[in-house]
Amino acid sequence: EYRTVFNYEEAQFKDCQEVILRFDGIDTIADIYLNGCCLGKVDNMHRIWEFPVGELLENGKNTLRVIIRSPLKFMAEAFKKYKNRGNEDTIEGFMHLRKAHYMCGWDWGACLPDGGIFRPVTLLGIETARLDSVYIRQVHKDGKVLLVPEVDVETVDEEESEADGYEGAQALEYQVTVTAPDGTKTIWDDCPDEMEIENPQLWWPNGLGEQPLYQVQVDLKAGDKIVDTWCRKIGLRALTMHREKDQWGESFAH
């Protein structure tokens, strides 16, 4: 059992239409309690879990409890019910639980299915909308790199929306700032479809060159106000697979 007491100041969230408790990673079966109220039960290590908690939070001290349940008991009961067999290295019933299966035995690893909280737990206040997903694709051509952002926005009023197609009370758009390794910043406004990087400093594998990183920041704006920010460092590099017929069969290299 994990237990913590945290302070919640209602004034800090006064402009938020929704407050969410977010678990980026729980391994694996658990019951979640906030101030004695069960928020829900989780059973999947490979996903993010979120719970609306605005009506349960108290101004001041709040108590969060996470009770981790035994994966061994779950797998034993599943095997008893379904009789699915794996292999001699694994715990029977492992395939019925969404958990990293290497923990349940492998030809190179012991049977040690642990449990716990392995990624951050966050209290999120959502004002108008938030960035649900940001993915940056790279197109390398003619000595330049095009960064192509794929941005998904989740609004408070509707489950999912594209930023530049939202027709709510305040128009939503995103702004992208790219910071080069030398600190030079370039800003693209109005939901850019692509950002061109001239004279890119390419990322090299260890031993073949340097590993310069570019910082990409996406700011979601409702009118003139920034309501959410996504920021990551990336390397600029194309990766291809080399597969050709040879005297042994076929080559396979990155």
Rounded-to-integer distance, Cα 82 and Cα 248, Å: 43
Q: For the chain, what are the domain ranges?
A: 2-69, 129-234
HEC-encoded secondary structure of 45-60: CCCCEEEECCCCCCCE
Q: What is the pLDDT of residue 171?
A: 87
Q: What is the DSSP letter of 165?
A: G
Amino acid type, 234 = I
Q: Is the peptide bond before 63 cis (omega within 30 degrees of 0)?
A: no
Rounded-to-integer distance, Cα 104 and Cα 75, Å: 10
> Residue 113's closest CA among 132, 130, 128, 98?
98
- Backbone conformation region of residue 108, classed left if phi is above 0, alpha if psi is from -120 to 50, else beta: alpha
Return all residues near 251 (Cβ < 8 A) that are at least 6 apart.
242, 243, 244, 245
CA 118 from chain centre, in angstroms, equals 13
Digitized pLDDT (tens) for each residue of the chain, 254 residues in all: 999 999 999 999 999 999 999 999 999 999 999 999 999 999 999 999 999 999 999 999 999 999 999 999 999 999 999 998 878 888 999 999 999 999 999 888 888 999 999 999 999 999 999 999 999 999 999 999 999 999 999 998 654 444 544 444 568 999 999 999 999 999 999 999 999 999 999 999 999 999 999 999 999 999 999 999 999 999 999 989 999 999 999 999 99
In which residue are the tokens 């952002």 written? 149
Q: What is the pLDDT of residue 179?
A: 98
- The sign of the torsion formed by the CA atoms of 191, 193, 198, 201 equals positive
Return all residues near 62 (Cβ < 8 A) that are at least 6 apart.
5, 6, 7, 8, 34, 35
Q: What separation in angstroms does the CA of 227 have from each of 20, 24, 35, 53, 125?
A: 15, 21, 28, 19, 10
Amino acid type, 196 = E
Could you tell me if 228 and 174 are in contact, meaning their C-beta atoms sit under 8 angstroms apart?
no
CATH class of 129-234: mainly beta
Fold designation for 2-69: Jelly Rolls (2.60.120)
